[in-house]
Structure 1
Amino acid sequence: MTRATPTIREPRVVLFDLDDTLVVTAKVKWAHHKAVARRFYNIELTDAELRLHWGRPFDAMIRALYRDSDTLERMREANLSLEEDFLKQPLPGAVDVIHELWRRGIEVGVVTSTNRSSALRDIERIGLRTDRLTLLQGADDSRFHKPDPRVFDSVLATLGERGVGVDDIWYVGDALIDHTAATGAKLRFVGVSTGFCTRETFARAGAEHILDDIRQLPTLLP
């Protein structure tokens, strides 16, 4: 369900976070990081450590989790070597929601803290055509990262060249860093409580639109 809100106009573009917004991530990737840390670096990661660094840009996160035990490139390779054992799956209804937006003529993009190559693999694996995305920005595509609103600077510049303004764009995410970045960039934010952020936490932060399930997103459309 959503909080009562004034009537809003239909967006031209809906941008999504990826992890735990479109794909189930924390549960499987915490196990993935624990396996990499144990096998390659003899580190026993705790849930507390994972929670502390969760949501950071991928490279910064693995440097912290794997304690700079090797070069960044080799830590990336170690992580990738076990990826097939810990694949992300789509959140129920996520793919259908994207197709519904496309059916309505609404463009779709992704702005994520995951690196571009990993995000592309995840999106394609769940059955979405990446060539239909209006844009995809990974953590390694920008020097700014959520919760910094400037993470959207390049995206807004690109869309602005086509006459798409901030009032035409929604951002959908599962975390407070998503809310902070989106509202700081003057985008309409839609929170989904499919990650660690509860409805109550979003509400306390002032989020206008809060969903329990990504499948509810079309109900917000005029």
Structure 2
Amino acid sequence: MATAGATPSASNGTSRRGVLFDVDGTLIDSSYFHTISWWGAFRQFGYDIPMASIHYYVGMGGARLVDSLLPPDRDRADDEDIMASHGALYASRWPSLRPFAGVGELLARCHEAGLAVALASSAREKDLEVMKDVLGAGGSIDAATSSKDAKESKPAPDILAAALEALGVQPADAVFVGDAVWDMMAAAALGVPAVGVTCGGISADVLKDAGAVEVYEGPADLLRNFDGSAIGKLLTRGS
């Protein structure tokens, strides 16, 4: 279930507004750890999938990623074991996880401006707990989701819908920040403006083609341009 803390209240009669953040590849430098972990898991079951192909699909839920990359006529009985192998290999990388530059300051800026902040992640619960510790910004985070909060993973919008519900924010009053094509597609399905970041390894052109309203290099770049960004405009809208 999505976890929520004390959500900021709207003032001046305006609707509550919020920002949703993807975590892997957006706030934490983990996309390539996921890539090499999937690569290793596939190899264990006899599939030699190029890392570049895997990386593009990182950000989808595990079942969708496996189904997108492996032959349709495979023995699907192995799928759960492949996903478990990826999880174990990724867990071995936990000690190496680091937040991108500017993450703590960006989350604090959103929180201090009165925006509700959610981590809209489809990670496993245990991975999410580790990443929350890595972020070390609990005071700026009002809610967080994991894979258990969505029936369908990105590009389906279920995770974003769960995060919005946890915050008590309507799609029209939110902005989503993510690093993958699937993030942009999920946001579009709800009508939520999506801000892209290239720190996860996907180019600005690809993110824009997928629906990003603007793209930054990463959290620090978004923070430098905060006032003119979609988040800044959300704050000033109707004021």
Q: The TM-score by the shorter chain falls in which range?
A: 0.7 to 0.9
Alignment of 1:62-211 (within 5 A): 72=80, 76=84, 79-80=87-88, 83-85=91-93, 87-129=96-138, 133-160=141-168, 164-211=169-216
Say whether the 8 Å CA contact 1:18–1:110 is kept in structure 2.
yes
- Structure 1 residues 63 and 76: alpha-carbon distance in aligned structure 2, compared to 1, 3 A threshold: farther
* Deviation (angstroms), 1:37: 4.9
Say whether the 8 Å CA contact 1:150–1:185 is kept in structure 2.
no
Say whether the 8 Å CA contact 1:17–1:112 is kept in structure 2.
yes
Gaps (5+ residues) in structure 2?
1-13
Note the alpha carbon deviations across 1:74-130, whole angstroms, 9 max, x for none: 85267336623453221111122112222223221111232222112112123232x
Query: What is aligned with 2:51?
Result: 47
Query: What is aligned with 2:62?
Result: 58
- Structure 1 residues 117 and 63: alpha-carbon distance in aligned structure 2, compared to 1, 3 A threshold: farther
- Structure 1 residues 62 and 168: alpha-carbon distance in aligned structure 2, compared to 1, 3 A threshold: same
The one-letter amino acid of 2:205's match is E
CA RMSD of aligned residues (A): 3.3
TM value normalised by structure 2: 0.70
Gaps (5+ residues) in structure 1?
1-8
Note the alpha carbon deviations across 1:2-30, whole angstroms, 9 max, x for none: xxxxxxx9972111011111011222232
Say whether the 8 Å CA contact 2:40–2:86 is kept in structure 1.
no
Helix, strand or coil at the partner of 1:14: strand
* Deviation (angstroms), 1:46: 2.5
TM value normalised by structure 1: 0.75
The CA distance in 2 between the partners of 1:106 and 1:202, in whole Å, is 25
- Structure 1 residues 85 and 156: alpha-carbon distance in aligned structure 2, compared to 1, 3 A threshold: closer
Over the matched positions of the two proteins, sequence identity in percent amounts to 22
Helix, strand or coil at the partner of 1:24: coil
The CA distance in 1 between the partners of 2:134 and 2:20, in whole Å, is 19
The CA distance in 2 between the partners of 1:10 and 1:192, in whole Å, is 27
- Structure 1 residues 99 and 51: alpha-carbon distance in aligned structure 2, compared to 1, 3 A threshold: same
